[in-house]
């Protein structure tokens, strides 16, 4: 992918967050990673979405070195970079402070898989990280946020569970492209809202059975998936 195309994709992912009501003011950010060039494109820090142009987006390498930009990158850059370095196949990362997903993060609770809508997208609960230590917060906070996420996913497939709640903070979502990461962020917010309503209606609600959860996830994402139309 050329840099121009990547900038356009990342801009579109950022604007999708606005269209879907997942960000306000200058909250949140989306980025994209091109494996061939090793370059990352991310929203600049503090620039209003309605003023963003492709040329405004900041390009860095995987170590955070800025490539030809007059803007500072998002303050969450190091978190995005940690995810790209650790999760093979991830080429888009989105961070929002969307209302319901952030509420679950602030509560320090994972989002349970209560129903088939959730299971269509995630093979189990959306995990939450442990709280960060004082030392992690005081030194290299954004990088350590990425490390906390990566540690939480030890033994997990980050492409089957493509989102996490950072305890006390907010959600990070990812995917094979910036567009798919943004799509996941929309889904996570909807599932967070549904889970909140479920617990309000029935505080004793139980997660979906393993059998029904697996059926719904695998019919969309398994080796023998039959949801939707075949790729021609």
Active site residue 210: no
In the three-class reduction of DSSP (H, G, I as helix; E, B as strand; rest coil), residue 144 is classed as helix
Q: Please give the Cα distance from 93 to 29 (Å, whole number).
A: 8
The DSSP-derived string for 33-87 is EETTTTEEEEPBTT--GGG--GGGSEEEETT--B-S-SSPBPTTHHHHHHHHHHS
CA angle 42, 47, 48 (to 5 degrees): 115
Q: Which of 56, 120, 141, 210 is catalytic?
A: 120
Nearest Cα to Cα of residue 3 among 67, 50, 71:
67
The DSSP-derived string for 110-122 is -B---SHHHHTT-
Q: For 168, which DSSP code?
A: T
Q: Which of 61, 140, 157, 227 is catalytic?
A: 227
| Sign of the C-alpha dihedral computed for residues 184, 189, 190 and 191 taken in this order | positive
The distance in angstroms from the start CA to the end CA of the chain is 22
Active site residue 100: no
In the three-class reduction of DSSP (H, G, I as helix; E, B as strand; rest coil), residue 173 is classed as strand
Residues assigned a catalytic role: 120, 227
């Amino acid at each position: 992918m050329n840099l121009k195309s990547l900038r356009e994709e990342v801009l579109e992912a950022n604007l999708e967050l606005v269209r879907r009501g997942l960000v306000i003011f200058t909250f949140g950010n989306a980025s994209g990673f091109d494996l061939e060039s090793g370059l990352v494109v991310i929203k600049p820090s503090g620039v209003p979405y309605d003023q963003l142009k492709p040329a405004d987006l900041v390009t860095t390498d995987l170590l955070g070195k800025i490539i030809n930009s007059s803007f500072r990158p998002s303050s969450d850059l190091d978190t995005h970079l940690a995810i790209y370095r650790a999760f093979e196949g991830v080429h888009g990362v989105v961070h929002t402070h969307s209302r319901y997903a952030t509420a679950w993060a602030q509560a320090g609770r994972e989002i349970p898989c209560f129903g088939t809508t959730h299971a269509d997208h995630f093979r189990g609960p959306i995990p939450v990280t442990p709280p960060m230590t004082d030392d992690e917060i005081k030194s290299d906070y954004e990088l350590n946020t990425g490390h906390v996420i990566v540690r939480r996913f030890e033994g997990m497939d980050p492409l089957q569970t493509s989102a996490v709640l950072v305890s006390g903070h907010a959600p990070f979502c990812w995917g094979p492209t910036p567009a798919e990461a943004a799509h996941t962020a929309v889904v996570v917010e909807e599932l967070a809202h549904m889970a909140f309503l479920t617990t309000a209606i029935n505080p004793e609600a139980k997660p979906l059975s393993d059998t029904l959860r697996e059926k719904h996830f695998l019919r969309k994402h398994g080796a023998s998936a039959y949801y939707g139309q075949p790729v021609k």
